[in-house]
């Protein structure tokens, strides 16, 4: 049975020992002694120096040298008590090959986090039984730049402009959509979908994961989660029983649920690009920012190309209009109308996006949590 978990936590200024800087160093396996709040986790197996698989950072402002430097400035300049960073730990199935895990991790970042300054790392500790536990850590800032203004670190983390103020002279606004349990549930659902698609692409059609709780799935047993050494020993003592008596049946139910989801949402193309489009557009369907509108329009174009390729039909070329400054607002408004009209159908599969009305529009307009491992 494939491992699945998405753990979430928040680093707040003045409330998290070590701050986001310490966690960034922990992710990169640098100066782990400074990440005090994670020291017990880091040293739990005594092998912190050999489990780093890959690391990186993306969407940083020009002044940031790397992820650690960005979050050092965040620790310094965010106001007291403010959320500095949101942290996610996401399991990557050990059934996948190392390359497929890297690809899944990249797809997760592209789907959910790419527009936000973030740093990430993939770890793969080995337990005493010799089993791998691959997972990705990601830490992001809620501040999402919406313009090209150059800001100093101090200004970047200052308060955003009010309605009557110039945004370029104030801080980068925070995206509050990350807050709340509903958003975390949506993230977990999206991670499960991308994970199941990756497993099936690798030939593991008989293995699947589920983001739903055991109770929601109709299982009577309680989840086994350890947070202390004693608690961990109790969980490990029951591991063989869980693997033998519970996990096979639970996995079969996950596979059945995954097949039903594919049918319900019209998922037929399991390629990486198609699945990122599918999950990303559903996850961000209420975000009407220009960049999201354009993402959805591009997804529609790729969907139409895929459908024509699959059926062998010839697609007539789209007559495009020259983009000029005077047409820019009309063009963007048209894209917004298209994606708002799709709204619900964007999340219901490739086949739903092939309506004649959509084609006509495009042609005319150019288109949080308990830590530890659970079983």
> Are residues 160 and 13 part of one domain?
yes
User: Do the beta carbons of residue 105 and residue 136 sit within 8 Å?
Assistant: yes
Nearest to 299 by CA among 274, 267, 263: 274
Place of tokens 């799709």: 342
At 213, list the tokens.
């709780």
- Residue 162 falls within a domain, yes or no? yes
**Cα–Cα distance for residue pair 191/375, rounded to 1 Å:** 18
Which of 178, 199, 227 is a domain's end point?
Answer: 178
Nearest to 27 by CA among 54, 47, 8, 3: 54
> Are residues 132 and 13 part of one domain?
yes
Dihedral (CA of 353, 359, 361, 367) sign? positive
**Cα–Cα distance for residue pair 33/224, rounded to 1 Å:** 29
Structural domain boundaries enclosing 312: 288-365
> Are residues 297 and 171 part of one domain?
no
Helix, strand, or coil here: 124? coil
Which of 124, 145, 178 is a domain's end point?
Answer: 178
- Residue 262 falls within a domain, yes or no? no
**Cα-trace Rg, the chain:** 22
Structurally, the chain folds into a number of domains equal to: 2
> Are residues 173 and 50 part of one domain?
yes
Q: Is 116 left (phi over 0), alpha (psi -120 to 50) or beta?
A: beta
pLDDT, position 166: 93
CATH of the domain at 31: 3.30.930.30
At 224, list the tokens.
């086994």
**Cα–Cα distance for residue pair 183/180, rounded to 1 Å:** 6
- Residue 300 falls within a domain, yes or no? yes
Q: What is the pLDDT along the chain (375 residues), one digit of tens a residue?
A: 788 999 999 999 988 778 898 888 888 887 545 444 344 444 444 444 468 999 999 999 999 999 999 999 999 999 999 999 999 999 999 999 999 999 999 999 999 999 999 999 999 998 877 889 999 999 999 999 988 899 999 999 999 999 999 999 999 999 999 999 999 999 999 999 999 999 999 999 999 999 986 566 665 665 555 555 556 666 666 666 666 556 677 888 889 999 999 999 999 999 999 999 999 999 999 998 888 988 998 888 888 888 788 777 877 665 544 545 554 555 555 555 555 555 444 444 444 433 333 333 333 333 333 333 343
- Residue 359 falls within a domain, yes or no? yes
Question: Nearest 5°: phi and psi at 66?
Answer: -165, -175
**Cα–Cα distance for residue pair 375/31, rounded to 1 Å:** 31
**In whole angstroms, what separates CA 298 from the centre of its chain?**
19
Residue 190: CB partners within 8 Å, gap ≥ 6?
Answer: 111, 112, 279, 282, 283
> Are residues 16 and 138 part of one domain?
yes
> Are residues 173 and 33 part of one domain?
yes
> Are residues 156 and 24 part of one domain?
yes
Place of tokens 């960005």: 70
- Residue 70 falls within a domain, yes or no? yes
- Residue 273 falls within a domain, yes or no? no
Residue 363: CB partners within 8 Å, gap ≥ 6?
Answer: 318, 319
Helix, strand, or coil here: 324? coil
> Are residues 301 and 156 part of one domain?
no
- Residue 174 falls within a domain, yes or no? yes
> Are residues 153 and 10 part of one domain?
yes
According to DSSP, residue 110 is labeled I
pLDDT, position 236: 64
Which of 129, 151, 178 is a domain's end point?
Answer: 178
- Residue 233 falls within a domain, yes or no? no
Place of tokens 């308060």: 159
Strands (E), the chain: 6-12, 52-58, 83-91, 118-123, 135-140
Nearest to 71 by CA among 122, 117, 38: 117
**Cα–Cα distance for residue pair 159/143, rounded to 1 Å:** 11
> Are residues 167 and 292 part of one domain?
no
């Amino acid at each position: 049975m494939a491992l699945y978990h998405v753990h979430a936590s928040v680093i707040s200024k003045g409330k998290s020992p070590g701050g986001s800087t310490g966690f960034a160093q922990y992710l990169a396996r640098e100066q782990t002694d400074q990440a005090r709040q994670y020291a017990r986790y880091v040293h739990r197996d005594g092998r912190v120096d050999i489990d780093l698989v890959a690391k990186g950072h993306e969407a940083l402002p020009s002044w940031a040298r790397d992820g650690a430097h960005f979050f050092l400035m965040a620790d310094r300049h965010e106001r007291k008590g403010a959320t500095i960073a949101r942290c996610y730990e996401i399991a990557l199935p050990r059934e996948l090959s190392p390359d497929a895990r890297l690809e899944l991790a990249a797809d997760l970042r592209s789907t959910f986090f790419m527009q936000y300054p973030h740093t990430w790392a993939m770890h793969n500790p080995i337990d005493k039984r010799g089993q791998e536990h691959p997972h990705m850590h990601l830490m992001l800032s809620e501040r999402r730049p919406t313009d090209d203004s150059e800001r100093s670190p101090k200004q970047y983390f200052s308060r955003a402009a009010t309605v009557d103020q110039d945004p370029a002279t104030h801080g980068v606004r925070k995206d509050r959509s990350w807050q709340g349990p509903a958003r975390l549930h949506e993230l977990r659902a999206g991670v499960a979908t991308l994970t199941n698609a990756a497993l099936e692409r690798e030939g593991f059609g008989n293995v699947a994961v589920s983001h739903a709780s055991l109770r929601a799935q109709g299982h009577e047993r309680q989840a086994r989660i350890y947070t202390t050494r004693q608690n961990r020993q109790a969980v490990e003592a029951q591991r063989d029983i869980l693997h033998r008596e519970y996990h096979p049946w639970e996995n079969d139910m996950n596979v059945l649920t995954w097949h039903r989801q594919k049918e319900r949402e019209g998922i037929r193309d399991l390629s990486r690009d198609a699945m990122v489009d599918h999950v990303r557009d559903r996850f961000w369907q209420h975000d009407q920012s220009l960049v999201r509108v354009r993402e959805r329009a591009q997804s529609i174009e790729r969907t139409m190309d895929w459908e024509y390729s699959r059926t062998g039909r010839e697609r007539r070329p789209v007559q495009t209009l020259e983009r000029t400054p005077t047409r820019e607002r009309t063009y963007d408004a048209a894209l917004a109308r298209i994606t708002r009209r799709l709204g619900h159908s964007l999340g219901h599969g490739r086949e739903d996006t092939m309506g004649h009305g959509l084609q006509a529009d495009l042609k005319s307009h150019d288109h949080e949590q308990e830590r530890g491992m659970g079983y």
